[in-house]
Homo-oligomer: A and B are copies of this chain.
Amino acid sequence: MARNFKYHVYFRQYNDEILQKWKGRVKLCLLGIDLGGTTIKAGLVDLEGQLLVKAQVPTGAGDGAAAVLGRIGALTDELCRRLGITRKDLKGIGIGVPGSVEGEKGLVRLAPNLFWRDFPLGEELSARLGLPVAVDNDAHVAALGEMWRGAGRGLQSLLMITVGTGIGSALIINGYVWRGFFGYGAEMGHVKMLPDGPLCHCGGRGCLETLASATAMVRRFREYLAAGRISRLQDAPGLGAREILAAAAGGDELCLQVVDEAASFLGRALANAALIVGPEAVIIGGGPVQAGEVFLAPVRSYLTEALGAWQIRPLPVVAAGLRNDAGIIGAARLALQLT
């Protein structure tokens, strides 16, 4: 296997100067790994959640699980070398995986993007690196990151929604990811918002993610164009929610309507969730949120309208703060929970 490991090491908050300050002086830190279908991102994080150094490498999932674990091992050693520490200085490893995870067993039940089914990731990685390993779903891990160092800092209970190709969600209660009992955690992307709505890949109809995801916005925009509606935005093969949101922000009527429809479904779904579980805050991540208020403002508005008399104190709805680092920092937070 001749894959070239180019470590894309970069620093967001901590430049070389700061790294030099820390190098060789860190007593104990955590390794956070954000294992994606395309990229493995990893970072060393101190016990207060500060990201000290990070790097990434292609996942190469097609090469098999052993190869992926090998890359994680190499990435770990590279990060340690850069910070001037050894594996023994690591308190533990946390890793977020895109799939269904039995966290307590460290078992990945199903991760289609990695071609894994019933893979004992925690056990295998722990044996390879000689360190305790905590495993969880990537949406759960990102929510932990936001709670620790992002938009949910200082909160004990939050609902995090990630709007992308689909809609992911995670519920944190009293500082821990709440999985519930019959599945693998919150699946708010699949609450049913429209009887006889669009068919979802899960087999259901009218799931939230068929109505409010980035994918849904593009589909709806194209449906309107096909029905003869006019927009300043031209359709194109690679058209994404980003362009629709930008056109909406620029006042394009059709795009505003598409965004408003998606926001209405998300806002009303959040109101229903709030009436059941009343989180301290809702954090929304993903592409559409980076477009800012053009999406968030109508979400808040529909949420407030649907909550009506039941909103005794305001329920904050805020944009995620950590963006691409949430997975690393959250995974480190997961490692901190290892006893």
Q: Which residues of A are interface residues toward B (Cβ below 8 A)?
A: 157, 159, 169, 171, 173-174, 178-188, 190-192, 202-204, 268, 271-280, 306-315
Contact = CB atoms under 8 A, between A and B. Distances in A.
Given A190-B275, A191-B276, A310 B183 contact: yes
A250 to B, nearest CB: 29
A136 to B, nearest CB: 15
19 contacts: A169-B276, A171-B276, A171-B277, A180-B278, A182-B307, A182-B313, A182-B314, A183-B312, A183-B313, A184-B312, A186-B275, A186-B276, A188-B276, A191-B271, A192-B306, A202-B309, A203-B308, A203-B309, A273-B276
A311 B315 CA distance: 29
Closest 9 CB pairs of A and B: A180-B278, A191-B272, A181-B280, A182-B315, A182-B313, A187-B275, A204-B308, A183-B312, A202-B309
Given A181-B315, A192-B268, A310 B187 contact: yes
Contacts of A179: 278
Nearest to A274: B182
Nearest to A271: B192
Nearest to A174: B174
A186 B278 CA distance: 7
Copies of this chain present: 2
Contacts of A308: 190, 202-204
A272 B309 CA distance: 21
Given A181-B315, A188-B276, 10 more contacts: A173-B178, A181-B278, A183-B312, A186-B278, A187-B275, A187-B276, A187-B310, A191-B275, A191-B276, A202-B308
Contact of A306 (B178, B204, B271): B204
A292 to B, nearest CB: 24
A278 B202 contact: no
Contacts of A279: 180-181
Nearest to A312: B183
B278 A310 contact: no
A124 to B, nearest CB: 23
Contacts of A204: 306, 308-309
Contacts of A203: 308-309
A308 B174 CA distance: 29
